[in-house]
Structure 1
Amino acid sequence: MKVLIADDEALVRIGIKSSIRWEAGGMDIVGEAADGEEALRLIEERKPDVVILDIKMPRKDGIQVLTEMKEKGIRAKVIILSSFDDFTMVKQAMKLGAVDYFHKPSMNEHEIEAVLYKVKEELESERQSGPEATVPGEVTGEGVLRRWLQGSTEGIERTKLREGNLYIMLFSVKKWAHVLQRYAQGPASFLPSTIRNLLTELLSKEPETEFVQLEDNLYAVILSQHEIKSVQACFTRVNDIAYLISSNLMRFVNIETVFGISDLFQSFEGGKRAAAQARQALEQKFYHPSDPVFYYRQSDEEPSLDRVNDFIVAMKNGLREERYDEFARNLNEWEQYIRSKEILNERDVKKIYEGLLFMMEDREKYLEAGGTLEFIEDFEELSVYYHDLFNKKLEAMISATNKEYSPLIRNIVQYIEANYKENISLKSLGEHFQVSANYISRLFNQEVGKGLFHFVNEIRIERAKELLKDYRYKIYEVSEMVGFNSQVHFAIVFQKYVGMAPKEYRKEHV
């Protein structure tokens, strides 16, 4: 699989190249681009299978690149890189066909590898499933139906479907992680094959009906009813099929299902749009975990997403500036807002919580909790889970902030605040205060609640943020003024603490 990386920050490109096992995964980097125009040129020239694309770049941003790729019919899969508060642009990119996205400050090699391997599997599946491919027990190849749901009508006329009164239903198994745990003792393929066999049996005699498995826990059932004149009769049949599937899966396999159903559409050309509608309907289960069926409904999404972005920026600022009461208030208002609007899906909400936790420098705890999160499928449970984590972390941060320091640590803190531009080390502090360096390190961690160098970097970065607002200073000059010997090191530390590159911060705050 050929991969192209497009990001204007050299450090990000280097980090991605260095952290992934490319050869072991059968992947090859075929090019790098530092701006949107260069990215488009290399995409056309080298024809990558996957593009890792930064959403904010000079000359042309990621949205413009995606738009032109779509206009030119370029079918490469696109993975978006964004800052934490680019949420509106990220959703726009997903609408244009991006397959996934990462927040740059919190992304890690395991997450990137997992998505790349998943995309690689999808590409291999698409290549192996030609128009003539068939699966035993099915009238048509799964590849034809999958491509149709993605926008290609090639081969669809050979299925049982006919144009007229079409519906697409997507369904998944509730409490999937718990169900998998229940069947863990049997063969790995037992549950998926049982579901497939049961669907084959149930739908074999149904006219104008097809099904295809899309993901581990996602199935599509497509119905057409070209001879039925009554819209109500069509709708009734759709509900009957949903009940047929859900009742039999409960009876024979003891699993609950949840369905998302598209609007009625008339021609094969509407398949991709209807599939998106069904997926959007199914995502409502995140907010209503007890309901068995959801129907697509239109929503005024764009203004709502802008409001979500405002909340994200406010929460970030509250954490960054240690205004924890303000953070908590905005967190609660954001949760109330998305609960009332139901505009964010499960994955988006989890990513936002993850980003906030990362800003509290608790990434390790988040990764350790991954197994727990697999069992959480609804918003209320997820909110309770993260509030518990946030409260514990904030209590520790507030406690560390308010703690009275011993005379030695108080003097060291004052010294650092006055001399942060200098080359401060445990050795130099030990010599200056005539105390063991190891003793300073241990006592500083104990009283301040963070390492000495973390404390120094915090002070340097806060001063750098003020200097970056003044265009008289170049970025490398700011780097030197706050005590960094290397602009590269400054950029890495700034990205870690602020969540964006120095030049990006300057653009947003000047």
Structure 2
Amino acid sequence: MMWNMLVVEDESIVRVGLRYMLDWESCGIHWKAEASSGEEALNILDRESIHIMMTDIRMPGIDGLELSKRVRERAPHIQIIILSSYDTFSFVKEALRLGVADYLHKPTMDEYEIKATLRKVANKLEETIGNRPAQSAVDRDAYLLSLLDRYTFPMGGKLPDVTLLQSGYWLTVFRKRDDALPNSDADNLRFQSIRYLIEEYVARDWGGLVFHRSFREVIWIAPEIAKSGQIDKNKYLDKLRQKLLELLNLAVIHASSDTHLETEELPDAYLKALLRLPYNEQSDNLIVRHAKAYIDEHLLEDIGLAKVAEVLHVSPGYLSRIFQRDVGENFIDYITRNKIEYAQKLLRTTNRKVYDIAAEIGYSNPHYFSKLFKARTGVTPLEYRNQ
């Protein structure tokens, strides 16, 4: 299907340059009309069928933001792309609040970036006008999160942005420095501001996918090569960290993986980034303390690594690694040891049958429990009671 586009730009030389910058028809876009002002654009919209509007932000009279607002009210199906020579956080917030699909930075935009933006808006049009059910942001994040852990990696899982695999990708994890499990709507809103700024900051210069895990981490999967060419990763991330501090007054910690080439390597990339995060009392150690507390409270229930990881909003693979590192034994061994110690207490202080004790701590097979007990203590449950 061919989508009709209206270009709104008060500088004719920019309109001409943009029109011949790429083969629009090959991108599924028909250059339907162009306007030199917001007023002219509104007149065109009244008489033409338009699917995409690309508009400059700064124009005499009705500027791009006001035009976008009016278009949103009159024709919400139209996908809006903003052209801007300005880089201000307040502008980005206002544009996205109005429902702008994407924005392009005029001084640096190139054919690759424009085509990527067109693919994005074309997909949105297919989802709405084409009657294809749109994937919600929650579903998108859930799918991307499933790619980060071998416990949840879907069969045939693929990155939705294939460009990430063309030259390789790397992954960065961001957390607030005062990292703790969120417990209020205010915490979640504050976290969303971090995700929002990171997503808008990297969209212009680098690209990739930005999503979050349970209002705790922001994850950025980035192509190896930035949109604007070779950029030093460490300097770029440090500049982003400073931007978060300046605009939101929030300090973050971050760490990145090495470069990977296959989707199946995402769990390794994610785990490597997590293990490179600065170690402090308020990050990894806190997760382990919460895990141990949960195990102690629910010891007699059917609990496992996946369940505890879900409660703490981390991946099972990550919880397993940091638990082994901080506690000195693996997750399952820790649970088993605590269950056996509880059984020893019952054997010493009660006359209950061995199979009753086994069932209480989660072992329906008393023979298996006895075998496990002896492997841990050197004696059978009855021998232990009779000592």
Q: By the TM > 0.5 criterion, same fold?
A: no
TM-score by length of structure 1 reads 0.34
TM-score, normalised on structure 2? 0.43
